[in-house]
Amino acid sequence: MILLVLIATIGILAYAGFLLDPGHRGDWLPYSMVIVAESILVAQALLAMWTILSASADPRDFAYNDAAGRLMPHARDGDDTMHLHGAPVLVDVFITVYGEDIETVRRTVRAAVAMRGAHRTWILDDGRSDAVREMASDEGAWYLRRLSSNGAKAGNINHALSIAKGEYFVILDADFVPRPELLVEMLPFFVRDDLAFVQSPQAYGNLSTVVARGAAYMQTVFYRFIQPGRNRFNAAFCVGTNVMFRRTAIDDIGGMCTDSKSEDVWTSLHLHERGWRSVFLPDVLAVGEAPETIEAYSKQQLRWATGGFEILLQHNPLSPRRRLTTDQRIQYLVTATFYLTGICPLLLLLVPPLEIYFDLRPMTLDVTVFTWLLYYAGFYVMQIVLAWFAVGSFRWETLTLATVSFPIYSKALWNVLTGKDVGWHVTGSASRRSPFEFIIPQVLFFVFLALTTAVAVWRDVGIGELTLATLWNATNTVILGAFVVTAAREAHAIAHPRTVEAAPEPVTPTTPITIVARPERMPAPTDTEVPVAASVAAPPLTRRRRAQLAEAGARS
């Protein structure tokens, strides 16, 4: 990876020198468009290379391993209470729910309850579903709902923190199924008293659609290389799920940030400004679901991009008022400007038509197609090679989504500039609306580029030479066309749904497990702890729970 990064960096610098050479400057309009777009892409690529090279092998140090060895000192006696600094600790696990499919929530709750280490599992139900409450009772989890949805997900968590009293808490989205070792892998890091949170990657198990694969693979480089590199700068940030927080750290900043729909990165920023530390643990400790439809993907990216642009325009990390280190300022600036790279394809899509229709070229006529391609390949081909190395193969789905998402990011930037509220949408959630309702700009661009390609071919036949503008425009047409075909297939699937057999009931593991989340042995929160607008349900000792406890007792 280091060798590829060094080669890619050389390619980036060579391409930048080629573009900035005054002797290569063409007509001012297309040249300016290329310079603006490529400057953003080159800057982001160079900073990404720097971050990747900064990554260390493993964040676990001696203090972590020592704490891990002392985590459950009475495990042999059947006591799975976790200890830090020799004292028992209580961990709350919050599963945020907002109308997700009940079986999806059930899988997450069942896995959360079965995690190693004593803890309490809470369902924070902003969907206010009685079916979810009954399911919580069946699965042995605490249930909590509130009367309002103020603050969206962050408000839901803050409300839970006013009732749950654990020194540490974990946040899981409703579709992220945790692995049994999540708690015991994360908690030992908190032996450091200045650590605010531990974040693990988002991994996905539903790669059955083009959109799901593209959305998942787009994040592979980030989680495998970028976030680990940010550990060195104490700038790894929370991504909203698969994360464990220290209660006192969140109390120190007044709770989870509710001023943005991207509460995760904003909360991380406030914590770092207060001097708290963070750790990114590269182990996959929970597996979730990527957005499977164009609608779900569009809503997810709109929310994420809005949060980034809000930081850039409302809380610029370069401001001297921000109490951040120089490295943290740079990393948060990269985060805040990252989605500008998604707008760059809009500028680059318009460059070939300017030459085809108006004979305006970004580079001088003495620059041949082969010269351009040589420098262009030094930048873009190496980026593809890096992604290939990270993912294991070339993923055209990722290239397609990265090229066609410019309307989403442009809308996000406009919403922040105008102060428009984008509303809250659960990642992965979607209705049964046609995908074409969400990609009108992409369809219009596809038609325009397809016609432009036809005009370009007719022109090249007339002059007897194939031009770079024609090749460039035809490539863009194919990429947008692939996305339109994907949308057409999705629309057909929505209009003609297939009957899917119900999944079989999960089989209870036959290997010994530690039975945790024993709310029947813990006192329920007092009336003074529960706001009038809240509803708390503690799970009864069900027949299945009695059987589990009896089996655990026999094994121990």
* 86 burial level (CB within 10 Å; 0-12, 13-18, 19+): exposed
pLDDT band for 377, please (50, 70, 90 cuts). confident
Would the pLDDT of 511 be above 50?
Answer: no
Distance CA(49)–CA(13), nearest Å, equals 12
As a dihedral over the C-alpha atoms of residue 391, residue 397, residue 401, residue 402, rounded to 10 degrees, the angle is 40
- Supply the pLDDT for residue 42: 86
Per-residue pLDDT at 316 exceeds 60: yes
Highest mean pLDDT among 383-392, 409-418, 426-435: 409-418
Tokens of 521: 């042995």
- Cβ neighbours of residue 48 closer than 8 Å, sequence gap 6 or more: 221, 226, 334
pLDDT at 427 over 70: no
Q: Is the predicted pLDDT of residue 365 greater than 90, yes or no?
A: no
For residue range 122-161, what is the model confidence (pLDDT) as tens digits?
Answer: 999 999 999 999 999 999 999 999 988 888 999 999 999 9
Which of the pair, 478 or 377, is modelled with greater confidence? 478
pLDDT at 367 over 80: no
Sign of CA dihedral 102, 106, 107, 112: positive
pLDDT for position 63: 95
- Average per-residue pLDDT for the chain: 87
H, E, C per residue of 452-487:
HHHHHHHHHHHHCCCCHHHHHHHHHHHHHHHHHHHH
**Which tokens belong to 313?**
């325009």
- The pLDDT confidence band at residue 254, using thresholds 50, 70 and 90, is very high
| Domains of the chain listed by start with CATH number | 62-335 (3.90.550.10)
CA angle 58, 332, 18 (to 5 degrees): 95
d(CA 291, CA 206): 9
Measuring CA to CA, which residue among 97, 490, 104, 441 is closest to residue 292?
490
Q: Name the least confident of 195-204, 283-292, 471-480, 501-510.
A: 501-510
Whole-angstrom distance, CA of residue 544 vs CA of residue 542 = 5
Cα separation, 426 vs 99, in Å, equals 9
Determine the pLDDT at residue 90: 94
Question: Is pLDDT at 538 greater than 80 in this prediction?
Answer: no
| DSSP-derived pairing of the beta strands 168-173 and 203-204 | unpaired
Cβ proximity of 271 and 277 under 8 Å? no
311: confidence class by pLDDT, cuts 50, 70, 90: very high
